[in-house]
Structure 1
């Protein structure tokens, strides 16, 4: 996924709720153990290994494509637009024109500008066709507002049959908003697990065994040592909220309510009332006071500690090979120390959340003039190995050298998505890169298949009935944002936060959460105490 580093700036109310619960972002999809690389019924199938076609098609299995179409596609980037992007787009369009009589107009928006620009596009009803629509970037809210095109079951069968087969019904259900499909999932790690990433070169230098570190209590003496012997390093990344990772609680994205993970009860509990939550908040604030967290964390939110190698340890969402991805991305940053290298240790069991399938999903805009062709392109994008690797890695012999059937060596300074491959379609079609295990995709399959569904799988809180109160809560609680980064004493500020929330309408929000939760359980034939 993201390199982490794709973090959502949700409404402050929800950020604080998640903060004090578990999680923000991040991104991922699935239920797929057997990626299918053959052409689908809606995808042209006479493709040679080099991606060349004899003639441009006028129809695809009975679907008329005689009209040439250009699709505008908005995609997120976490830095500069990839080098040589125009050349790659020309190659993409040569291929998609032959296959679907379709060309692509790719537009990149930096993650820092994403919310502002996308909100403006949706508000003015700008005409475009496809957009990166992950769960951690307002997917459900935008779908509820009518921003996205509904993909009907018939359309799914007609235009996206092979993509449909990539995922289980449960994963497709996660793309539903009020019972209707609004996105195509990305095919990657569908499970979520958490653990430590650390500077292995530094740990080896001082004989530190990070594989034995399981908790934040375990790591405290190590952070103290790093602060002493490596004063230029930040001991721990403040963005890695300690309540994230389903260690105690299960995120609902619904107010300050949560489910405990240490029992079978389906009864919602208030996060603020749980002793473990307060303990972890105090521990995190203690890290700040001891200098383990950046002192300017609240005012300088754009500092990239990972890709510059400025941090020793991070608690983050992991998957098999995440450390290799981080190393590959960071090596392209001139600020990253020459001998620096990251290692990882997954601590929590993998689990499937409501947002897991949508960590890198794509939506079709409701303003699209050609939604059927957009679906046909997505079918090609998700299932065609040549197109997948062209988008992800560029052109063979120009951007990379192919060293074996499924492994490449990128060429320095040429086209690269720089760690963003997780966001582009079907990762199981990706070539392997240096440092990645030969059995990387087999590891992904095992990781996905071992994941445990969360207790709240299928529950999505509809914010509309309490939109007014949520807006008021955002305004009323903005002064407590620093609690997210461990910069405020919870003994002092948590009571103040609760008081402000109550005055802004939290009781009404809580009632609505409980009402919707009861309806959800009833639809499954359950009660809260089962």
Structure 2
């Protein structure tokens, strides 16, 4: 949830061999006027199929514009980005115009960028931020099938084919997967010092949280708040819905979900479900008991790392539980956390598409943008530089090849390795098991597969309704997750969702799932 993990050189080789072996066993030019993914862009293969085979000095120099979210700006980001560009220039004769955006502002910024038709090359996209299916429906992204085969063959082959299938809309790939933990269940994270002081064994609630059992956490909350009234619970709606027992189809802000245990694959509006209503009631109760510090937080769009670093979090529920996630000593100014899974992990389409990049349909250099994705996902030095800064300054490797804090760690520490590229290129952090990436792959493989795995929703027929319902969600979500939304106000939210077209969205999802199910 809070921290990506890191990998030694030996571990990298082993993981890549495992990935390729498992794959064997398991066996674009511009069109600025396009308004939907059914439009026919110029084929990248016919545009310049030889570019990927050229030496860097034979390629014309280009500048690529890249939008991404995170804890930005960082104090020394320009220094790090300059070093990144030295490598990118040497390897593919390109430089990057970095466009880092603070996480709370990224959604709105990308809506403006997309609506304006601004030329850019790469952007982070997912089912919870800069919504993937909505942007595909708008025609914002290029299909990547041919581009990946020509200009990113190594990283394309390293990711299982069923993962790529999860990204497909109308049979085409529009999102490049940042390969990492994909078996999803929210993570419960507690400052280790608080857990020890108040005798709270996080494993006592691990795997047991649901809309009906949130009261299991209250004895711990009561004890902490008595001595620390400034501390609060962070439980953002985008990070917790996996534990309700259903899978969102088009994103956490879009109506439409299927229960994991439902063989009929019947679509419901998750916001109208008993599970969601019970959880909203629990948040309301937590706020009444003083666990949420809602008056202080209501003015913010989302919870920020500044509060975490200031020691204001007594618990965080959200993100994705992963092996090694309890080694968080450098995330919050040296404060270590203990973690546990909230519920049972499931391998879902949503988990796979939770961290991706897309190439804009306005890109003037889609081939080189794909080559950059290949480089980011295969070059160990580049990946760790971008994620963790300059070696021997922002981080160091100890005698065992494990990552430790550098003398200037807080000069660059964006804490978003899940966002930049494949997490399997990261150095293993000291204190994590050296087998952390093997463990992560095993967790992906052992997770219970969703009955909807591989289904991709085409949002085009209801893109207007999705836009309207997303706007309603944006209006109400912060009050809901802070527990300040009354039952009456929540019913108003549901009514506005219906007016905006939630029933039409659910019906379209059901239609597409039924057609998909008939082919299985």
Same fold? TM cut 0.5: yes
**Structure 2: runs of 5+ lacking an equivalent:** 5-14, 22-49
Q: Deviation at 1:468? A: 3.9
- Superposition pairs of residues 177-188 of structure 1, within 5 angstroms: 177-188=169-180
- Superposition pairs of residues 113-512 of structure 1, within 5 angstroms: 113-136=105-128, 137-153=130-146, 155-213=147-205, 214-215=208-209, 216-234=214-232, 236-239=233-236, 244-253=241-250, 256-269=255-268, 271=270, 274-296=273-295, 297-304=297-304, 305-316=307-318, 317-325=320-328, 327-331=329-333, 340-404=335-399, 406-413=401-408, 416-473=412-469, 480-481=476-477, 482-490=479-487, 492-512=488-508
Q: Deviation at 1:474? A: 5.4
Q: Deviation at 1:256? A: 4.3
Change (3 A) 1:32 1:465: farther
Change (3 A) 1:256 1:409: closer
Change (3 A) 1:523 1:190: same
- Secondary structure in structure 2 of the residue aligned to 1:457: coil
Change (3 A) 1:384 1:36: farther
Change (3 A) 1:430 1:467: closer
Preserved contact between residue 177 and residue 353 of structure 2 (Cα < 8 Å): yes
Structure with larger Rg: 1
Root mean square deviation of aligned Cα:
3.2
1:152-195 Cα deviation digits (max 9, x unpaired): 34x32221111111111111122222221222211211221224
Aligned to 1:516: 512
1:268-310 Cα deviation digits (max 9, x unpaired): 3454665444333323322222222223243333443433321
Q: Deviation at 1:197? A: 0.9
- Secondary structure in structure 2 of the residue aligned to 1:268: coil
Change (3 A) 1:134 1:417: farther
- Secondary structure in structure 1 of the residue aligned to 2:294: coil
Moved more, 215-224 or 473-482: 473-482
How far apart in 2 are the matches of 1:220 and 1:33?
46
Q: Deviation at 1:435? A: 3.6
Preserved contact between residue 188 and residue 339 of structure 2 (Cα < 8 Å): yes
Preserved contact between residue 242 and residue 280 of structure 1 (Cα < 8 Å): no
1:34 partnered with 2:26? no
How far apart in 2 are the matches of 1:90 and 1:224?
48
Change (3 A) 1:182 1:404: farther
How far apart in 2 are the matches of 1:477 and 1:122?
20
Q: Deviation at 1:198? A: 0.9
Aligned to 1:23: none
More helix by share: 2
Aligned to 2:96: 104
Change (3 A) 1:139 1:33: farther
How far apart in 2 are the matches of 1:59 and 1:500?
51
- Secondary structure in structure 2 of the residue aligned to 1:442: helix
Aligned to 1:84: 76
Q: Deviation at 1:346? A: 1.6
TM superposition score normalised by structure 2:
0.79
Change (3 A) 1:77 1:438: same
- Secondary structure in structure 1 of the residue aligned to 2:176: coil
Q: Deviation at 1:65? A: 5.9
Preserved contact between residue 179 and residue 423 of structure 2 (Cα < 8 Å): yes
Change (3 A) 1:468 1:175: closer
Q: Deviation at 1:211? A: 1.9
Moved more, 373-382 or 160-169: 373-382
Change (3 A) 1:465 1:501: same
